[in-house]
Amino acid sequence: MTVQLTQENFEVTTDTVRGSDTLVSFSNHHHQDTEYELDQSESLTFLYNLLYDEQSQLTKSDILNILHSLKQREDSLPFSYMGANTNDIQGVDWPPGLKEKFYSDRRRIGSDKWFHNIPGSLDRAVNKVSILSSRSHTEFFKYHKFYSKLKLHITHFQLRNLTTNNFESTDSIHSYFKINRLSPDEQSNVRNSMQLDCVMDSRSLLRNSNSRISTLACSDKYLVSGTFEGDYILTDISDPQHFLHLGEHNLTRNYDGITNSIVINDNKQLIASSNDKSIRLVDLSTNHKTEIVLPFAGNCLAMNRFNPNEIFVSGDYLSSFILDKRIPLTKFEQVVQYKGQEDYSFSCDWSPTNENLLLSGNQDGNVRIWDKRFNEEPLFSWKGSLGLSSGDVVPGPVRNTKFSHKGQFVCWGESLDHVGIVNIDDLHSNTQQMDRIQSIDFIGKCTGLSFCETENGYGEQLIIGVNDCPLGGILSYSLESSEKCLDFDLRF
């Protein structure tokens, strides 16, 4: 991952592939582009910059009208928006025609500003995709609600695992952070009502009160919060009414030891990948650590649910690979590598229902599905912008990829403004067109994707974290199962 330090007008960015002699170092040629993905894409900043952009389709009058709409929204901001309340999923009452122009400017500027560690990676990757377009748009998941007052924050533009499957999210305020949980309110008489609980306020912590959260993971028992300082914070969330703080633990004291990714194995073991090129296996009962040293930084981990000894790893490397915890890593060249990527990866997943399907998202703008048994090229690959209305859109870096809870769908999030969903069954049509695709367009940076069961396991819910000022929040989409019993409204 790329580390950026900013103090007023001074900035240092490291764009180096770190590791053994087989890896290559690249020049620091795109350091300014990190600002677009982190700060300059904020809607208010973006609109201000358009005032001085001669190529913008929006006139100064248009921009003022959009700002007026945002001000009206802010004056009457509810906790959540339903689909019927406005003409926009984030609650913006757009003046006619201006939303399309706004998105057009976002994509035009993004095409020149997306960050890549390796020059030319986007062009090379686009030429190698196996799926070029889609036949039709659909809605697998129906829009449910947008929680507009849950202001999410990211502190690194490449690390986006900040929303996890029990609805936890980071809320960074000034020099401290909060972890919040949005969950069903069992005490309310109103159907589908939700409650917001503060799981953790860092000001109550002994060591990490001023830390920054870099990643989140949770199971039915534990919430683990990784920090930029090389620590993790462990919380017992097994009792929905009482959160128990279990401690703050150090993974590494290396100055480059940011906790990039965490997975939890059967509530017994924590597996953490740090930016100091190490993966650490932590026994949660004893806090004993076992270290696996890599020749590069691992940015994302995914565990094989059929064999928890196997971990899929993506990072600062041109391949992803499977690591078996039982086998000592003596020569990295002997590890099975999944080849074909043109840049670094920051997201990966392993199918929960098919142990041979792997998923990765890459800074080269592509989403790839791999067959575990064949590592020379991906089974399927497509641009992250697939499904957008304009066919010539330059895809942004793919920062999030997830299989749905039951493995039926693949979901991915670009760095900015777009999440796509496809049905696994539609991938096997043996053509260069996807049968159906769902494209979710919003304004803001995707902070994370999460799937969870609903309605006693019959349905699923997709949670999308959105970071933007002032349009950030949590998008909720629902999928009803075909096996669900019919609802009947009884009136007496």
Residue 151's pLDDT band (cuts 50, 70, 90) = confident
DSSP 316-367: SSSEEEEEETTS--S-GGGS-EEE--SS-EEEEEE-SS-TTEEEEEETTSEE
Degrees (nearest 5) of the Cα angle 459, 404, 326?
130
- SS3 string, 126-166, reads HCCCCECEEEEECCCCEEEEEECCCCCCCCCCCCCCCECCC
Check: CB of residue 418 under 8 Å from CB of residue 440: yes
Contacts of 330 (CB under 8 A, 6+ apart): none
Q: Which two tokens stand for residue 344?
A: 């670094």
Rounded CA-CA distance 396/37 in Å is: 10
Lowest mean pLDDT among 87-96, 101-110, 188-197, 425-434: 188-197
Coil vs helix vs strand at 54:
coil
- SS3 string, 271-299, reads EEEECCCEEEEEECCCCCEEEEECCCCEE
pLDDT of 12 above 80 = no
The number of beta carbons lying within 10 Å of the beta carbon of residue 30 is 18
Length of the chain: 492
Q: Which amino acid is at 141?
A: F
pLDDT of 390:
61
Q: What residue ranges define each of the domains in the chain, with the CATH number in brackets?
A: 122-479 (2.130.10.10)
Closest C-alpha to 478, from 249, 139, 227, 183: 139
**pLDDT tens column, 262-321:** 999 999 999 999 999 999 999 999 989 999 999 999 999 999 999 999 999 999 999 999
Q: If you compute the radius of gyration of the chain from its CA atoms, what whole number of angstroms results?
A: 22
Rounded CA-CA distance 63/101 in Å is: 10
Task: Find residue 439's DSSP bridge partners.
Answer: 420
Instruction: Determine the average pLDDT of the residues in 119-123.
Output: 91
Rounded CA-CA distance 489/79 in Å is: 27
Pick the more confident residue, 85 or 307: 307
**407: alpha, beta or left, given left = phi > 0 and alpha = psi -120 to 50?**
left
Q: Which pTM value belongs to this model?
A: 0.88
Residue 191's pLDDT band (cuts 50, 70, 90) = confident
CA torsion sign, 295 to 31 to 345 to 178? positive
- Long-range pairs for 51-59: beta carbons < 8 A, 24 or more residues apart: 53/105, 53/109, 55/108, 56/105, 57/101, 57/104, 57/105, 58/98, 58/101, 58/102, 58/105
Lowest mean pLDDT among 110-114, 172-176, 403-407, 418-422: 172-176
**What is the distance of C-alpha 456 from the center of its chain?**
26
Closest C-alpha to 154, from 413, 477, 453: 413
**pLDDT tens column, 371-415:** 999 999 999 999 999 888 665 678 899 999 999 999 999 999 999
pLDDT of 171:
56
Rounded CA-CA distance 165/179 in Å is: 13
Place of tokens 């201000």: 48
Sheet hosting strand 366-371, strand order edge to edge? 345-350, 357-362, 366-371, 380-383
Degrees (nearest 5) of the Cα angle 413, 415, 418?
50
With a pLDDT cut of 90, the percent of the chain lying above it is 61
Check: CB of residue 402 under 8 Å from CB of residue 421: no
Place of tokens 């996807």: 434
Coil vs helix vs strand at 34:
helix
Closest C-alpha to 354, from 311, 319, 304: 304
pLDDT of 93 above 80 = yes
